[in-house]
Structure 1
């Protein structure tokens, strides 16, 4: 969802990619639906392992943000180019239980939090911040909830 939000809202400034440490192998339908609702082309969206972006020939990342609550404690790959790193913990909506309404609420809540944080990211003057300052600002954003 963060990939879609950043690529739609920051299309002139960013190219975002999404990946995980243990991808399921398929895109969650509710996440895809929310991405499509903001105008994101999901025709090429796929489940990816983050190792794909640490391999030779991968795009060089300026910023790497982990978003799932359990990702903060995981060992991440070594990212080429020494990007700014931050963790934006969001409850994984895949883990939501209950009926479809409860699961949908978990997805929309996660989406709203990610959207708010992306909006704050887009307000940063990243071109005038060094890596450490950018990393500090990104980590502060990770504490903001949807409001």
Structure 2
């Protein structure tokens, strides 16, 4: 049996962007990928943003089972190391800790739509973000991860951040 590929998605509050990405990748390929998400300590939301839940529901993708959490929970000594850390929030990229196992890092910057006051606009934007993430994640899933040149895979994952 092959080792599952560990992916961590990071956004500031871990309530919308990283939740969409985690749920979508877990939905696309749960056998090959072990997926988590987290946010910046001191900024974590208490629950998933309603727009994230609505977008996932509209796509028939179940939301993650775990509540939003800090990256502190994932960098503990007993946490399993990830292969990739994909940051969805440019502002959080420079504040991240040293991740166990030195995973490859990529920035897939998405705007912070969770801070808006208009729930209808935020819900629409969350659906659009989910479509965009899904396109990137479908390409990620199609990459030849096992036995491939690690630097080539790293470059491909980083390049996915430039898709529109």
Deviation of 1:47 (Å): 0.8
State the Cα RMSD in Å: 1.8
Q: Deviations over 1:44-71 (max 9, x none)?
A: 2311001111111112101110112322
- When normalised by structure 2's length, the TM-score is 0.78
Q: 1:80 to 1:86 in 2, by over 3 A?
A: same
- Are the equivalent residues in 1 in contact too, given 2:25–2:137 (CA < 8 A)? yes
Tell me the equivalent position of 2:133. Answer: 114
SS of the residue 1:4 aligns to: helix
Q: 1:117 to 1:65 in 2, by over 3 A?
A: same
Larger fraction in helix: 1
- Are the equivalent residues in 1 in contact too, given 2:82–2:100 (CA < 8 A)? yes
Bigger shift: residues 26-35 or 112-121: 26-35
- When normalised by structure 1's length, the TM-score is 0.86
- Are the equivalent residues in 2 in contact too, given 1:93–1:103 (CA < 8 A)? yes
For 1:82 and 1:129, how far apart are their aligned partners in 2?
18
Bigger shift: residues 61-70 or 36-45: 36-45
SS of the residue 2:69 aligns to: coil
Residue 67 of structure 1 pairs with residue 88 of structure 2: yes
* Superposed structure 1 runs of 4+ greater than 6 Å apart: none
SS of the residue 1:94 aligns to: coil
Unpaired runs of 5+ residues, structure 1, are: none
Tell me the equivalent position of 2:35. Answer: 16
Size of the aligned set, in residue pairs, is 143
For 1:124 and 1:87, how far apart are their aligned partners in 2?
17
